[in-house]
Structure 1
Amino acid sequence: MPPPIPLPGDPPRIVVLVAPDPAQELDVTGPSAVFGHANRLPGRASPAYDIRIASVRDDSLVHTESGIRLLADAPYHRIGTMLPGPIDTLLIAGGSGHAAAADDARLIGWIREQAPRVRRLGAVCTGAFVLARTGLLDSHRATTHWRHAARLAERHPLVEVDPDPIWIRAGDLYTSAGVTAGMDLALALVEDDLGHAASLAVARELVLFLRRPGSQAQFSTLLQAQSAQSPELRELQGWMAEHLARDLSVQVLAERVAMSPRNFARVFARQVGETPARYVERLRVEAVRRMLEDDGRRLDGIARATGFANADVMRQALQHHVQTTPERYRAAFRAKPEVPGKDLSP
């Protein structure tokens, strides 16, 4: 059960992000921006978070992969001396310096010392290599950037590496995929602390297209769609995603791009890598998953809204793609209900 929502006047939760050198700057600044915007939500009388950056260098400098340099609050081994209270949430950022950080026995020992003291411990992107080196991820599911997942599994065979989700929670341990997925993880932590409305308000403030749950795949259907070579097909795919309840048969889609059905099906499969029918079904299943996570409507209403003939057909598609039923999926991933009287959305 998550801790109670902090009341105005409660001391802020201390969040420390440890940055390797070099760091992927968005692994540091992305989560920091999420927590910072949560502090500025309308109706808050006091900040919810005290955000600190810790370096692995003794001079508190953090080099980043883009060439930007960040000045941390302190090196990780001195950060505790300047904090007004205990660390609540400790996150290890990723970046090309993760390998050196994972080999730093002093850093690994420090993380192990902090683990039983903090409420939450996590890693963003390749920060998972550092966290895995502590042994704390052994026998737990974890993820990282898809490009590095196989290497993480090879180096740490006791970790149950899943390359698909954008973030994973295993008890009090959290791992996320790369770059912007760290913001999704931070939004989930804000939701645990302050409620669904607060996390949604932060996502809106940051103009995020979609507040993604951890179950979302690193490669969504819409992202894969952008690999199509033809601008006409990419435009069509965007239209399809916005009109899932309409007839999306090959005949209708071919007419929209002024092609014969046979030629359209052949060109689509060659450029997208799958048939139009399978692509449409995956688009609809992704939409169903989002609605089950964030929408309280009945299953037949979700089926109609996403273009399935009925709830039974939708159930079969979800079972095929996600290996579960709509009821079980909703029970596992439905956003927590908002606290009455705590609507913090703008």
Structure 2
Amino acid sequence: MSASSITGTTRRRFITTLAVAATAVPVTAACGSAAGSAGHTRTLRYQGWTGQVTLPELAADLGYLGDVRLKWIGNTISGPQDVQSAATGQVDFGGAFNGAVIKLQAAGAPITSVIGYYGTDKKYYNGFFVLNGSPIKGPRDLIGKKIGMNTLGGHSQAVLDLYLRRNGLSTADIEKVEALAVPPVTTEQSLRQGQIDVAALSGIFQDKAIAAGGIRPVFKDYDFLGAFTAGSYVFRDDFIKRNPGTVRAFTAGIAKTIEWTRTTPRAEVVARMTKILKARGRNENADALQYWKSAGVAEKGGVLTDREFDTWRTWLEQVGQIPKGKVKVSDLYTNEYNPYASGGGR
């Protein structure tokens, strides 16, 4: 990957990224084309991730989605892009960092979160890594440095901004910390080749990089935020209204899959995901899957709580990205379709 292929931005473009994504969502977006009985369409269009197996893909393979089938329409490397695609009807559901979801909803996007799907815990966290010989030790050392992450306006950039603010950096200093969008599959390589100073890594890509050696974390989101569910799957409100049975089947299936990953031996989970990835024929490398540890979802069955959204709503208000008091946390999500919310999950 050449340096010219990396797209850079300052914090100002982080603001623009979220704003453009939000204002691009028309309220009367397409409704989707999947056919089915009233209240229960049987096909859900979605985007995947290169080299990874998503919870919906795993749920489908386990048979946990019932008669609901997934239709892959392509890959994404961006949660904000994924939920924007759901908001505009290009796909039927999408998943993203909850801060990005809040931003879209605050701008009028007719979407609702139905279940958490990834987060931070002791096994699965968002870490900001440097090479062992790097002089970067703390927050002020990041001024003027290039930080690579999978997308702009997502989890990594929000965590970075919050970390810098909590450590006393001014807005002017934070704007000198340059965030760069780098595909997850090449972030480690970009760090080792000196194209970026810091790499935001999580999940299987983080574990693969750690196993290769020569890197160390500057900070982790788990260190100052603890365990939390960071992202959720969303549907358009009109889709939910037309297809409550589908949303219920999807949500229950994902919830059951989350618990399956908790109770199943890690080697078995990895083997299952590897089989799925190889069988789908998308010309991908399955090597990174061997480093999978956890989905990091905080609540049982992916049940959502106010905390999952309030941290980021407050932060968005503080940095002026949404008007204070405009967003009511309880309006952002529903647990109506999750059997674990009422103790019905097994």
Taking structure 1 as the reference length, what is the TM-score of the superposition?
0.25
Q: Which has the higher strand share?
A: 2
Taking structure 2 as the reference length, what is the TM-score of the superposition?
0.25
Higher-Rg structure is: 1
